[in-house]
Amino acid sequence: MFILNLANNFKYKENIMQTIRGFRDILPEQISLWQKVEKEAILLFEAFGFKEIRIPILEKTELFARSIGEVTDIVEKEMYTFEDRKGDKLTLRPEATASIVRSYIQHKMYTIDPVRKFYMIGPMFRRERPQKGRYRQFYQIDAEVFGIESAYIDSQLIFLLNELFKRLGLTGLSAHINSLGCPECRPSFQKALLDFIESKKDRLCENCLRRMDKNPLRILDCKIADCRKALANAPATLDYLCNDCSDHFDIVKTTLEKQGLDFIVDKSLVRGLDYYTRTAWEIQTTALGAQSAIAGGGRYDGLVKELGGPQTPAIGFAIGFDRLVEVMEQIDKTPEDRPLDLFIVSLGDAAMEKGYHWSCELNQAGIRTEMDFRGKSMKSLMKRADKLSAQYVLIAGENELMENAIVLRNMNTKEQVSLAMENLVPELIKICKNNIEEILRD
Ligand code: HAM
């Protein structure tokens, strides 16, 4: 009995000490690429006139159901939905567009200026089958533009994405673009699609058949190999575009061509969310196996109105942050950590106190300074300085304090100088800053 309890206890402890399936920690050792991407993305977004927006992680379920579409994989199968204590149905956001549209409408942003550009970076939640590049909590870098109908914005967002990936050193990506038409041209396409599907009915799965009446476009998302084969020659939206949609798509293509950006017109690209109209795109990579889409986006000219705002054209994209980092890891673009600038070896209580104040002032000035407060010996402190790859070590013991001659050792050249306490911190800042500049120059 006792042994059984012990075993159960052990198992219980083991389970709660594991992240939930599809959820993971991003550890300090992995974070440098995430930070590098974030810095580049923010720099670029700001240059293109975007402002950051922060939105809640939890929203009313209906917001997502109405914007992404009731009959989509995300809403039917993947959302983390629960009732709170009052019985309100809430969902962990599976994407950012719906919430940003909600915010645009809720705060009546269109009354001040309908043209708005936002970006946000944060976690999303979808209960998909976890595998490489696919997680249940994953991160997106999202951008949305409101109030601009012109096709130049479509090209500009694809240009922006391309520029970001170029700056991050990514190669081998391909941009797949398509046009999904508008409410004017959709009905004739849907009719052709339904006729086609009708002729293939006996080869389609139950889910496809169910979607026939409710949302036939989503049949084209089916991942089952037999269905995909049956649907290989299905009609494409591109062949049913009205004149306006066709002209719009032409401008997108010619602009990208003039900017020297390669793209593939991919008639089969339908995206998995219902809100799209006109231009839709995905940036794909071959580096992540089945999870080829590293970013996806498109126009959604009807969504603001659909959710209760005024008619407002809109367009945006989201980058799969986890996937982007995984591709960067493969091409070994991990930025080297800047080494520690200075380690303070303080021996004895008086030196410890002095060292504490020096280190705070140096940290304040942006100098990466560490010291050890455990009262260790000179030998073990020097070992620690080595372990942290300190560029300089400041040695302060009782003698040094008494003689007002604090020793500064250059760990690369092994040269030592003595510094007086009066001007110690400014002197150290000068020396360390020169050294940082030299490191950055190399
Ligand atoms: P999405 O295609 O569903 O679009 O997601 C965008 C990107 O998020 C994908 O291309 C992929 O890189 C990443 N992603 C999606 N699911 C996962 C997952 N389970 N694990 C890891 N990464 C994932 C949207 O979310 C739209 N809101 C994009 C948009 C913004 N359209 C207009 N504005």
25 pLDDT band, cuts 50/70/90, is very high
**CATH 3.30.930.10 spans which residues of the chain?**
28-185+241-330
pLDDT score for 171? 87
- When comparing pLDDT for 89 and 438, which is higher? 89
Cβ-defined contacts of 241-247 (< 8 Å, 24+): 241/179, 241/181, 241/185, 242/181, 242/182, 242/184, 242/185, 244/182, 244/184, 245/179, 245/181, 245/182, 245/184, 245/185, 245/278, 246/179
Q: What is the sign of the dihedral through the CA atoms of 248, 254, 260 and 265?
A: positive
Q: What are the residue ranges of CATH 3.40.50.800 in the chain?
A: 342-441
Provide the percentage of residues in the chain whose pLDDT is more than 90.
86
pLDDT digits (tens, 9 = 90+) for 205-260: 999 999 988 898 999 888 899 999 999 999 999 999 999 999 999 999 999 999 99
Ligand 1 near 69 CB (within 6 A): no
CA 341/CA 393 separation, integer angstroms: 9
Nearest CA to ligand 1 atom 31: 297
**Residue range 135-141: average pLDDT?**
98
Evaluate whether 321 touches 372 at the Cβ level (below 8 Å): no
Inform me whether the pLDDT recorded for 335 exceeds 70: no
CATH, range 342-441: 3.40.50.800
pLDDT higher than 80, residue 437: yes
Report the atom number in ligand 1 closest to the C-alpha of 271: 2
The matching CATH number, chosen from 3.40.250.10, 1.10.760.10, 3.30.930.10, 2.40.50.140, for 28-185+241-330 is: 3.30.930.10
Q: Is 134 in the pocket of ligand 1 (CB under 6 A)?
A: yes
Q: What is the pLDDT of residue 288?
A: 84
Report the atom number in ligand 1 closest to the C-alpha of 283: 10
- State the average pLDDT over residues 404-417: 96
